[in-house]
A and B are shown apart, each in its own frame.
Chain A
């Protein structure tokens, strides 16, 4: 638990309220039928009123403090997740799951592809693979055009830097 700027007081109240809350919901869930349905909400309301009443005695701005405390709790939770997910065991498990998922997807796609292709062909529509291949060719053409453009630019620059001064030297302008 990180050090709270509000001291441990507010955290203890918060913690106690959470535990009370948990007990309340456990009890509520275990009762098959409540004698008075409104009683459930009255209990919950009392629970939180008590929490705020206690918290108000600890901080001049209870709600602000509670907000900060909540954000801190999230940060602690996030750090907890990061610690758990930063282990090699987690990485190995995750990689294995991803690998299995990819293998499964690949197999499914291969099994379904012929039917998808024939359906699309019957509807005179291109398949995803055909569209990808078309775009790949466009990308390839653009690459070649770009290479030509770069070469032209370089040639022009060479001409400007070498040939133009040579011509100027050979044919000086007469004043």
Chain B
């Protein structure tokens, strides 16, 4: 028998399987994207607003199990760019719900939708005024002497700067996830924004900040094949029921951009991406120098090996810059978002945070 004769039944079987799957995919696509295109509700974990300043809200998530950790767990996400509901995406895919189930008392700051009227809000206002007030309100509400602080992405830069300014800050443990600190290692954004030729001032003059359209374009340009890869992934997985709601939620979030206040953007671009002042200890906020050596708390830094927004080396820089004796660096497989919100996050990063805090009586 020839090779072709031997392979023919196998090929016919594979072909038949693929055709069956293709029909199923078209059926699912019609049902889920044409007839019922609504996205699943996100950010559904019950919460209450305990402090509000304009668009900025401080949420307290209602407990879901017996409290096992003495100190409140405070999440400070990025300002602008996108929305923080990715941290509470869907049941089973929510970092916040996971922490609640492990007995943490969880709080999160939501910076809200920044627009042209917020153009004068600067990085210094956020670090020196807004974050300390939010922490003050949280501690008063929780009746706690201190908290565990978790900065994410730019939220990590904000929290690291806050701790660098305040050696006596009421923070017991500090967790920085995908936080850029060494901006010289900042990947494509460093090349684009860190040359001094980026027309940040002109953009702020024209729009009062970074409008959502340009924000989206900038992030899409970082990974031009991202949408195609996402759509291909969808097609290949359309025959799996559990894939669809997660895809819809992720896809909705990934295209839901938020603008950035003008002054904040100018400071980030000039002082961090261009001059790398935070790591060099030259960043001045309201006349005070940010010294990362003031960070004495136990520190956990998590980075993603395939992060194209904050490359691992940009995040790792924090470890060497702080004054903490107890530090741990964790480089996990995955991208910028998947490391704390993807399918692997609940198996790797979330349990790691829980055990790391438990070992430090947090």
Across the interface, name the chain A residue whose C-beta is closest to B229.
A74
Across the interface, name the chain B residue whose C-beta is closest to A98.
B199
* A78, B202: Cβ atoms closer than 8 Å: no
| A142-B228 contact in complex given A91-B192, A91-B197, A132-B208, C-beta closer than 8 Å | no
With the chains together, A87 CA to B190 CA distance in Å? 11
| A63-B221 contact in complex given A78-B229, A95-B197, A132-B117, C-beta closer than 8 Å | no
How many A residues touch the partner, as a band?
35 or more
How many B residues touch the partner, as a band?
35 or more
* A150, B225: Cβ atoms closer than 8 Å: no
* B53, A142: Cβ atoms closer than 8 Å: yes
- A70 vs chain B, min Cβ distance (A): 6
Q: In chain B between 1 and 39, which residues have their CB closer than 8 angstroms to a CB of chain A?
A: 3-4, 7, 10-11, 14-15, 17-18
Across the interface, name the chain B residue whose C-beta is closest to A95.
B197
Is there a chain A Cβ closer than 8 Å to B224's Cβ?
A: yes
Which one of A2-10, A100-108, A117-125, A163-171 is at the interface? A100-108
A77-114 Cβ-contact flags toward B at 8 Å (1 or 0): 11001100111101110110011001101100100000
Which one of A11-19, A39-47, A49-57 is at the interface? A49-57
B188-218 Cβ-contact flags toward A at 8 Å (1 or 0): 1001100101110011011010000000000
Report B's interface with A, CB cutoff 8 A.
Answer: 3-4, 7, 10-11, 14-15, 17-18, 53-54, 115-118, 120, 133, 136, 140, 187-188, 191-192, 195, 197-199, 202-203, 205-206, 208, 221-226, 228-229, 232-233, 236, 308
Q: What would be 28 A-B contacts, judged by CB atoms less than 8 Å apart?
A: A52-B15, A56-B14, A62-B11, A63-B17, A67-B236, A70-B232, A71-B229, A74-B232, A78-B224, A82-B222, A85-B188, A86-B187, A86-B188, A86-B191, A88-B195, A90-B191, A92-B195, A95-B195, A98-B198, A102-B202, A102-B206, A132-B116, A132-B208, A136-B117, A139-B117, A142-B53, A143-B54, A153-B136
Report A's interface with B, CB cutoff 8 A.
Answer: 52-53, 56-57, 61-63, 67, 70-71, 74-75, 77-78, 81-82, 85-88, 90-92, 94-95, 98-99, 102-103, 105-106, 109, 132, 135-136, 138-139, 142-143, 146, 150, 153
